[in-house]
């Protein structure tokens, strides 16, 4: 592909055209003929590696600041926007070849994407999913080089879209994080439907204020044709107030366009009725919890906006299977239950504990920690929540990263000590899980919160194998 195609007419007027063989933003991955885009990251600055990219064969450098190289340089105001636009052109705007659905919000994104997937597949359509757990098209798992946990970087995202288009995907549903919206990872994408789940405290290490956090989420509705918003959430009300796209309001309130009522929760799942367009429909979803109702109505709203009929939508929700790391029951063959859940925010932790309390016959034992190098203001809040709601809490490590695990735990304890809740501190997570299993009694429910689908633990800057399912199995079969 010619540089003029990627960079536009301005490039051709000022420079000789160059044949481009690909795009890279990591100098180590540059191949001969690649364009190298200098991106300022959180830990390093791509401008420092422009010379290395040249040495590896880059034929063109895209940069925001002056770089000393002997190949042509295209200077731009924002290199993140530049790489997104180039990636769209390089892969022939693949997201225009299918229906694109984006889901944003603090909690519920992963589950909602899989609920929408189940509805679409019930209609015998081919669907791709991009998100925290994995990237898939049909039953095929797609692999990228991205280390981004939720939404891939712009280059990998367009590459994924291209692969999905080539696999004849008719719809793609993806999680859209606030980081992705703020850092232009989805720049150049246009969504047929955007979905907002809720807004609770998280990522303040990056956004600084809840207002900034909400504003980042709201950007999705500036690039969506239609929107589905949880109108019971205060953040949702603000999005509806300020958004110019067509919004379907969902929730449990009487002022919602699609409103759930008559909720009945059991260990096996959740039954409820939904009022929509002067009709009432009965819905069942095989995932327990009040938060499952909100996840379900968000998925229903997206499907309605895409044009699916209500019979297909209801059948699709009933067909939905559990999502790895989301209220996931671990097979243990014991007289107590072990549940793994990704809850890593105050709201998420409160939701899972409250849900389990609705059906637990014995004690609710909650084991959790908080991630290092992330929002530290939520730590005492989560400690207080577990202290108030759990019968017993085990405070341990999550992904401490470069922080001292004991320091993180001490901050959690501040909140715990505001309550009368019983608790124990065990820094080593493997040891903590073993303690929970050894001390569980008949009918108890152990919640292993925070890591969910993750099969690793980040200590320092290294990833170590740590699958809680394997840890539980090995301890019970030692």
Number of structural domains (the chain) is: 3
Give the separation between CA 422 and CA 325, rounded to whole angstroms. 26
For residues 106-129, average pLDDT: 94
**CATH code of the domain covering residue 350:** 3.90.190.20
Average pLDDT estimate for 140-161 = 74
Last residue of a domain, one of 284, 319, 354: 319
* Domain-ending residue, one of 267, 302, 319: 319
What whole-number distance in Å separates Cα of residue 197 and Cα of residue 296? 10
Inform me whether the pLDDT recorded for 145 exceeds 50: no
Cβ 290 vs Cβ 265: under 8 Å = yes
Task: Look up the domain containing 375 and give its range.
Answer: 328-476
> pTM higher than 0.75, yes or no?
yes
> Per residue in 75-91, pLDDT tens?
999 999 999 999 999 99
Q: What is the pLDDT of residues 347-382, one digit of tens each?
A: 889 989 998 998 889 999 999 999 999 889 999 999
Within this chain, do residues 86 and 32 fall inside the same structural domain, yes or no?
yes
The pLDDT score that the predictor gives to residue 206 is 56
Based on the fold, state whether residues 86 and 98 are members of the same structural domain. Answer: no
Share of the chain above pLDDT 90, in %: 73
Euclidean distance between CA atoms 105 and 193, whole angstroms: 14
- Please tell me the distance from the alpha carbon of residue 445 to that of residue 452, in angstroms, as a whole number: 16
Same domain assignment for residues 81 and 101: no
Instruction: Identify how many contiguous H helices and E strands the chain contains and give both numbers.
Output: 17, 23
């991630």: which residue's tokens?
371
Tell me: do 22 and 113 sit in the same domain: no
Same domain flag for 258 and 280: yes
Instruction: Based on the fold, state whether residues 242 and 180 are members of the same structural domain.
Output: yes
């Amino acid at each position: 592909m010619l540089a003029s195609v990627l960079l536009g007419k301005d490039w051709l007027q000022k420079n000789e055209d160059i044949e481009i063989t690909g795009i890279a933003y990591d100098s180590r991955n540059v191949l001969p003929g690649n364009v190298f885009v200098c991106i300022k990251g959180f830990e390093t600055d791509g401008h420092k590696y422009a010379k290395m990219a040249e040495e590896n064969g880059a034929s063109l450098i895209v940069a925001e600041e002056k770089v000393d190289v002997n190949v042509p340089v295209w200077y731009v105001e924002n290199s993140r926007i530049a790489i997104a636009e180039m990636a769209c052109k390089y892969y022939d705007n693949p997201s225009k070849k299918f229906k694109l659905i984006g889901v944003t919000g603090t909690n519920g994104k992963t589950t909602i994407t899989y609920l929408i997937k189940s509805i679409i597949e019930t209609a015998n359509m081919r669907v791709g999913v991009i998100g925290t757990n994995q990237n898939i098209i049909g039953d095929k798992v797609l692999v990228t080089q991205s280390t981004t946990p939720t939404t891939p970087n712009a280059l990998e995202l367009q590459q994924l879209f291209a692969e999905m288009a080539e696999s004849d995907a008719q719809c793609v549903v993806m999680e859209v994080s606030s980081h992705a919206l703020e850092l232009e990872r989805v720049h150049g994408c246009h969504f047929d439907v955007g979905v907002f789940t809720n807004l609770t405290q998280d990522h303040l290490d990056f956004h600084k204020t809840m207002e900034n956090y909400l504003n980042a989420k709201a950007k999705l509705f500036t690039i969506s044709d239609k929107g589905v918003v949880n109108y019971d959430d205060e953040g949702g009300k603000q999005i509806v107030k300020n958004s110019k796209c067509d919004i379907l309001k969902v929730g449990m309130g009487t002022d919602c366009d699609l409103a759930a009522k008559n909720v009945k929760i059991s260990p096996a799942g959740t039954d409820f009725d939904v009022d929509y367009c002067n009709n009432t429909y009965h819905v069942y979803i095989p995932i327990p919890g009040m938060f499952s109702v909100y996840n379900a109505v968000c998925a229903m709203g997206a499907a309605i906006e895409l044009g699916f009929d209500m019979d297909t939508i209801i059948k699709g929700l009933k067909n939905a299977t559990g999502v790895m790391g989301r209220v996931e029951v671990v097979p243990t063959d014991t007289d107590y239950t072990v549940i793994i859940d990704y809850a890593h925010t105050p709201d998420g932790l409160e939701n899972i504990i409250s849900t389990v309390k609705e059906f637990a016959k014995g004690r609710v034992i909650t084991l959790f920690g908080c991630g290092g190098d992330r929002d530290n203001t939520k730590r005492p809040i989560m400690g207080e929540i577990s202290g108030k709601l759990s019968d017993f809490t085990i405070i341990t490590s999550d992904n401490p990263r470069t922080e001292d695990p004991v320091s993180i735990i001490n901050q959690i304890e501040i909140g715990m000590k505001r309550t009368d809740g019983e608790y124990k501190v065990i820094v080593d997570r493997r040891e903590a899980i073993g303690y929970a299993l050894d001390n569980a009694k008949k009918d108890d429910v152990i919640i292993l919160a925070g890591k969910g689908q993750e099969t690793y633990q980040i200590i320092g800057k290294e990833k170590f194998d740590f699958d809680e399912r394997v840890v539980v199995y090995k301890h019970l079969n030692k």
